[in-house]
Amino acid sequence: MRVLGWLLWRLVLIFALPAVLVALWWQLSADSSHFLFRPLSEIWEAFRETWDRQRLVEDVLPSLNRLARGYALSLVLGIGLGVLVGSSRTLRSLLEPVLEFLRAIPPPVLIPLIALFAGLGDARRVVIIIAGCVWPILLNTVEGVRAVDEVLADTCRSYRIRGGRRLYHLVLRSASPQIMTGARQALAIGIILMVIGELQGTQDGIGHTIEQFQTSFQYAQMWSGVILLGLLGVALSLLFRLADQWVLRWYHGLRATEKER
Amino acid sequence: MLEVRGLHKVYDSHGRRVEAIGELTFAVEDGQFACVVGPSGCGKTTLLRCIAGLLPATAGEVWVEGSRVTGPPPGLAVVFQEYGRSLFPWLRVRDNVELPLRAARMPRAKRRDLANWALAAVGLEDAHRAYPWQLSGGMQQRVAIARAIAYQPRVLLMDEPFAAVDAQTRADLEDLIRSVWQRLGVTLLFVTHDIDEAVYLGERVIVLSAAPTHIKEDLPIDLPAERDQLTTRGDPRFTELRAQIYSLIQKSKQASPAPSKELS
């Protein structure tokens, strides 16, 4: 009974503010006649009509697919290079200024350049996502790998724990809280770049669809696309939360006990 | 058998040269329990790290079981003072104990048996599935000891392992390590700054001088093999040995007022 009550309370906390905001929006926009700010009721109607099965398969899925590929490759690249750079002091001092410079470049300005190398197709849009996502993962991994505890490293040496076992049980697990921090930042960047990459010269994708509605003055439909992006963002961040709880269960437990003491 | 021959260690960093170990030569027989005491900052940890192959010596040699130490030797385990930092917080107790065995490619069933036995030997039968940070400090150090004995080392090094636990736990752990040593017949080198602890535990106490370190005295501890916190510590011979070592250390402190910075 107490668990049920707690669960109910949590649900109230989560949905209270969104519900109020939606209600307010609904009310305030009800008799809007502005061409851009359509009533929410009209947007809702457009949402149901626009994002049907066909659109989901032809536009939403390709977008998510590119995001997934770009994000996964960013994780592999960022963690892989991060472990290399973080493990070697020489490599670090050599590369750090360059990495900071590259990170400071906003990926959208690279779009023409990327198009030159990766063509105009699917690959280009994946590369744009990688160009933005890889940096927070890479730099956070470097930090995490640098901070591996010396006593734990000595423990591995004296018990002759080496190679892949050392890499996984010592280096990656030690760095996992920082890696997850980088991955969280990268996810937010990835969603933005997923849309930006679709804005020009593409045939499918959520960004492409939204732009089409905008240029054909279908503003209710356009807003429904924006809402869809918001909902996707929420869903992805919830998924990320679950992954984080699973990967870092030891870390959250450790932090909680440290707080108690 | 553990042999240290002419060990000399100088730290040289940023133009500051610190002579941590002057010259150390000693041997610990197979199955012996030797304690090393000395004033703080006398390079006890440096000595231990050189023996463990974690730190290269400036001059001299260390031999463990007939081979010269150039890196961490097989058959040698170390229990560090910082138990909280030497256990993997992302591994459960059992996996912490088993990881070195997995690295040694021991078959699963044998690993299981050894981990069960080692955890039982330190009184942690019920903690297999706990994470280290769910345990008290004393219990965490027990896990570290279980990991060391499951590894079945021929030489076991302990670096002030009980310095960070409370007095009551400390007495329990001292008795635990005596009984583990008696059962295993392992060669044990135990570094501590606590004179009482050294006399209570060891068959022999090596007293070090202040840095640059050399051996001040090498004392056999002729107390009965069966030791007990009450009777042994009440033994007049215990008090005598304790006083003798205490005055040696006091003298060595006055003789060379070395910087009291701990070299680790």
pLDDT per residue over A198-235, tens digit each?
A: 887 678 889 999 999 999 999 999 999 999 999 999 99
Which token pair is A80?
A: 């892989």
State the DSSP H helix or E strand holding residue B233, giving kind and residue range, or none if neither.
helix B229-234
All residues of chain A having their beta carbon less than 8 Å from the beta carbon of residue B146 are none
B90, A154: Cβ pair inside 8 Å? no
> Residue B258: pLDDT above 70?
no
Distance separating alpha carbons of residues B218 and B31, to the nearest angstrom: 17
A254, B131: Cβ pair inside 8 Å? yes
- A37 versus B186: the higher-pLDDT residue is B186
Please answer whether residues B219 and B240 qualify as being in contact, where contact means their C-beta atoms are separated by less than 8 angstroms.
Answer: no
Which token pair is A32?
A: 């809007």
Total residue count of chain A as it appears in this document: 261
Mean pLDDT lowest among A169-173, B86-90, B192-196, B223-227:
B223-227
Instruction: State pLDDT tens for residues A232-246.
Output: 999 999 999 999 999
For the sheet containing B155-159, what is the strand order?
A: B67-68, B59-64, B2-13, B16-28, B213-220, B204-208, B33-37, B187-191, B155-159, B76-79
Q: How confident is the model at residue A171 (pLDDT cuts 50, 70, 90)?
A: very high
A151, B85: Cβ pair inside 8 Å? yes
When CB atoms are compared, the residue of A154, A161, A258 closest to B54 is A154
In angstroms, the separation between the Cα of residue B237 and the nearest Cα of chain A is 37
A254, B89: Cβ pair inside 8 Å? yes
Distance separating alpha carbons of residues B91 and B132, to the nearest angstrom: 8
Mean pLDDT value across chain B: 89
> Residue B259: pLDDT above 60?
no
- B262 versus A151: the higher-pLDDT residue is A151
Q: Could you tell me which chain B residue has the CA closest to the CA of A161?
A: B103
> Residue A177: pLDDT above 60?
yes
Instruction: State pLDDT tens for residues B57-68.
Output: 999 999 998 899
Query: What pLDDT is stored for residue A165 in this prediction?
Result: 94
Segment B103-124 shows an average pLDDT of 93
> Residue B262: pLDDT above 50?
no
Distance separating alpha carbons of residues B226 and B216, to the nearest angstrom: 28
Residues of chain A whose beta carbon is less than 8 angstroms from a beta carbon of chain B are: 149-152, 154-155, 157-162, 165, 169-170, 173, 176, 250-251, 253-254, 257-258
Other Cβ atoms closer than 10 A to A38: 21
Segment B16-45 shows an average pLDDT of 89
> Residue A118: pLDDT above 80?
no
A151, B80: Cβ pair inside 8 Å? yes
Task: Tell me which of A158, A160, A161 to substitute to probe the interface with B (most B C-beta atoms closer than 10 Å).
Answer: A158
> Residue B264: pLDDT above 50?
no
All residues of chain B having their beta carbon less than 8 Å from the beta carbon of residue A160 are 72, 74, 100, 103-104
Instruction: State pLDDT tens for residues B168-221.
Output: 888 988 999 999 999 888 999 999 989 999 999 999 999 998 878 888 888 898
Query: What pLDDT is stored for residue A114 in this prediction?
Result: 80
Query: What pLDDT is stored for residue B256 in this prediction?
Result: 55
Q: Could you tell me which chain B residue has the CA closest to the CA of A175?
A: B90
Q: Compute chain B's Rg from CA coordinates.
A: 18
Task: Tell me which of B69, B88, B136 to substitute to probe the interface with A (most A C-beta atoms closer than 10 Å).
Answer: B88
Query: What pLDDT is stored for residue B212 in this prediction?
Result: 85
Please answer whether residues B213 and B38 qualify as being in contact, where contact means their C-beta atoms are separated by less than 8 angstroms.
Answer: yes
- A3 versus B145: the higher-pLDDT residue is B145
Q: Could you tell me which chain B residue has the CA closest to the CA of A159?
A: B100
Distance separating alpha carbons of residues A179 and A70, to the nearest angstrom: 17
Segment A164-181 shows an average pLDDT of 96
Q: Could you tell me which chain B residue has the CA closest to the CA of A162?
A: B103
Segment B9-16 shows an average pLDDT of 84
> Residue B260: pLDDT above 50?
no
Q: How confident is the model at residue B263 (pLDDT cuts 50, 70, 90)?
A: very low
pTM: 0.87
Residues of chain B whose beta carbon is less than 8 angstroms from a beta carbon of chain A are: 49, 52-54, 71-72, 74, 76-78, 80, 82, 85-86, 88-91, 99-100, 102-104, 131, 133-134, 147, 151
A159, B99: Cβ pair inside 8 Å? yes
When CB atoms are compared, the residue of A151, A169, A254 closest to B99 is A169
Query: What pLDDT is stored for residue B186 in this prediction?
Result: 93
